[in-house]
Amino acid sequence: MTAPWTVDEEPRVHPVARSGDLVHVRQVIRVLAQRCGLSLVDQTKLITAASELARNALIYGGGGTVRAGLVEANGRRGVAAVFEDSGPGISDVGQAMTDGWTSGSGLGLGLSGARRLVDDFELSTVPGEGTAVTIVKWAR
């Protein structure tokens, strides 16, 4: 799932450098979700997951980028987004994916909650180098 882009133009890259950028990321994902024809509930789930992951990249990763675009596989269309940061990485992924566990002051729902809200979820992290999370929500 490193390069999920199969439809249309290359994905746009959006910075996540300050909290105001989260509003922009949510708008970008909303537009893609509507273009893809996701149901209202699925749009809401995807935008919410994107908001959680973008905030993680900002707060825990010290900022990063979001790449987002439309994808297609097995005759289905979907929206994919990759959240990357070059922060400290996650030393214990199992722990980080547990509901309620947080290394900061959050609720500990960001990663585990975001995973439940999307169809595909892939996390790769290297301690000291950064974290990348790829998500896809498919149209039904």
Q: Which residues bind another protein (CB under 8 A)?
A: 19-20, 22-23, 26-27, 30, 40-41, 43-45, 47-48, 51-52, 55, 99, 106-107, 109-110, 112-114, 116-117
Is the distance from CB of 67 to CB of 11 less than 8 angstroms?
Answer: yes
27: part of which helix (H) or strand (E)?
Answer: helix 20-36
Decide whether 62 or 113 has the Cβ nearer to another protein: 113
* Residue 136 Cβ vs another protein, minimum distance, rounded to whole Å: 17
Angle at CA of residue 39, ends 37 and 49, nearest 5°: 100
Decide whether 26 or 77 has the Cβ nearer to another protein: 26
* Residue 40 Cβ vs another protein, minimum distance, rounded to whole Å: 5
* Residue 44 Cβ vs another protein, minimum distance, rounded to whole Å: 4
Query: Inter-axis angle of helices 20-36 and 40-59, to 10 degrees?
Result: 150
Is the distance from CB of 54 to CB of 21 less than 8 angstroms?
Answer: yes
